[in-house]
Amino acid sequence: MIAMNELFPWRRPVKIPLPSGVKPQLIRHFTIGLLYPVTEETLECREKAGLSPVPPTAHQFLEAAEDIRTLIKAMKVDKAIGLNLDTMEYISDDNTR
């Protein structure tokens, strides 16, 4: 009997290595729900622009970061990129470098 992945080879999981510059951004996103850091300068600029100084992300709504992690685990993105969501550390493996 022929296996499904032999009939449909494009359905095989593909593991693409993450660029090292992306890794800290993903950890920040999964931790606080924001890809870029919120600095004092950012807070001041937002306030001058008439916006709430704290962006409406998990900086303001802490439960949002937990929702992000729940979705990441459900979609198995953490496994695909080699990230341990409990420790927020990448698993040292050649596929995640």
pLDDT tens per residue across span 15-34: 667 888 888 888 888 887 77
> 48 is in which domain, residue-wise?
18-96
Looking at the whole model, is its pTM more than 0.75? no
Residues of the chain with pLDDT under 50: 94-97
CB 5 within 8 A of CB 11: yes
Q: Are strands 83-84 and 89-90 parallel, antiparallel or unpaired?
A: antiparallel
pLDDT of residue 38: 82
Among 25, 44, 45, 23, which residue's Cα sits nearest to residue 33?
A: 25
Residue 1, domain member (yes or no): no
Q: How many domains does the chain have?
A: 1
pLDDT of residue 37: 77
Residue 3, domain member (yes or no): no
pLDDT of residue 70: 93
Residue 43, domain member (yes or no): yes
Residue 26, domain member (yes or no): yes
pLDDT of residue 51: 94
